[in-house]
């Protein structure tokens, strides 16, 4: 039985791969950087599992389709759409081509791969990694936060449809708060704070094992989530602007 993880070459995806390898699942690892994937694969093979490396740029829809065609004969029980990135900056200053590429990876790839999976497989779980940023408009991270709102809303709604259809498929949604990974460096944030990536992956893993519909890793972030439900958007914007402009 295979677990496929996109964005497995670093951060949360890499830690999830290590956890599933320890639990003796076979793995399909996807990201752009083949060397990093090969290195991880050779480390994980010591667990006597099959590890397949698929170096693809998922911001290109044609490559999403190619990936799916290459893996659809495998018994993939868990498909984790984890690859994603953000780009910090004021909307009138950030690079448009980067933002459009972010939409392609954070939204279009997740959309297409979720659809392909639930149309092809009759049982299994898609896990879509959203973010706490999904729950509040986020100045200086406007586009990123909006992509994660899309992932959140699409994934929760599709999961509900599947339940009502009495399907054996599920789409789980994960909304991590800040995690110390390469994400911050790629987003051009000057600080790298948050939950440890190993801890975050462990909490996600537990949520997936329990087949939770929605996973927020960590008590603090669960409280923040509740707060976003009861705080006026005007106040949330003020708080989020202050946090973001200190990054």
Ligand X SMILES: NC(=O)c1ccc[n+]([C@@H]2O[C@H](COP(=O)([O-])OP(=O)(O)OC[C@H]3O[C@@H](n4cnc5c(N)ncnc54)[C@H](OP(=O)(O)O)[C@@H]3O)[C@@H](O)[C@H]2O)c1
7 forms part of the interface with ligand X (CB under 6 A): yes
Minimal distance, residue 64 CB to ligand X, in Å: 9
9 forms part of the interface with ligand X (CB under 6 A): yes
Of the pair 69, 123, the CB lying nearest ligand X is at: 69
31 forms part of the interface with ligand X (CB under 6 A): yes
CB 90 within 8 Å of CB 143: no
Residues 164-203: x/- map of binding to ligand X (CB under 6 A)?
A: ------------x-xx-xxx--x-------x---------
2, 3, 4, 10: residue in contact with ligand X (rule CB under 6 A): 10
53 forms part of the interface with ligand X (CB under 6 A): no
Of the pair 32, 212, the CB lying nearest ligand X is at: 32
User: Other CB atoms closer than 10 Å to residue 117's CB: what's the count?
Assistant: 21
129 forms part of the interface with ligand X (CB under 6 A): yes
Minimal distance, residue 20 CB to ligand X, in Å: 15
218 forms part of the interface with ligand X (CB under 6 A): no
Minimal distance, residue 11 CB to ligand X, in Å: 2
21, 26, 53, 59: residue in contact with ligand X (rule CB under 6 A): 59
Q: Which residue, judged by CB position, is nearest to ligand X in the bound state?
A: 11
Tokens 């698929």: give the residue.
Answer: 54
Of the pair 108, 115, the CB lying nearest ligand X is at: 108
Length of the chain: 247
- Give the interface with ligand X as residue ranges (CB under 6 A): 6-13, 31-33, 36, 57-59, 82-85, 105, 129, 131, 176, 178-179, 181-183, 186, 194
């Amino acid at each position: 039985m295979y677990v496929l993880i996109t964005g497995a070459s670093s951060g949360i995806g890499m830690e999830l791969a290590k956890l599933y390898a320890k639990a003796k699942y076979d793995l399909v690892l996807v990201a752009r950087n083949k060397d990093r994937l090969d290195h991880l694969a050779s480390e994980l093979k010591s667990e006597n599992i099959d590890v397949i490396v698929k170096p693809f740029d998922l911001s290109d829809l044609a490559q999403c389709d190619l990936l799916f065609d290459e893996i659809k004969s495998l018994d993939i029980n868990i498909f984790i759409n984890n690859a994603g990135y953000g780009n910090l900056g004021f909307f009138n200053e950030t690079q448009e081509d980067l933002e459009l590429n972010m939409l392609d990876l954070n939204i279009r790839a997740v959309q297409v791969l979720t659809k392909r999976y639930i149309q092809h497989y009759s049982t299994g779980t898609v896990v879509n990694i959203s973010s706490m940023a999904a729950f509040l408009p986020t100045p200086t991270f406007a586009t990123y936060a909006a992509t994660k709102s899309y992932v959140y809303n699409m994934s929760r709604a599709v999961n509900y449809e599947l339940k009502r259809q009495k399907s054996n498929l599920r789409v789980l949604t994960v909304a991590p708060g800040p995690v110390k990974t390469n994400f911050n460096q790629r987003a051009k944030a000057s600080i790298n704070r948050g939950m440890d990536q190993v801890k975050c992956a462990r909490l996600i893993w537990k949520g997936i094992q329990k087949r939770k519909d929605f996973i927020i890793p960590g008590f603090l972030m669960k409280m923040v989530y509740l707060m976003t439900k009861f705080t006026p958007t005007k106040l949330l914007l003020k708080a989020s602007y202050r946090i973001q402009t200190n990054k």
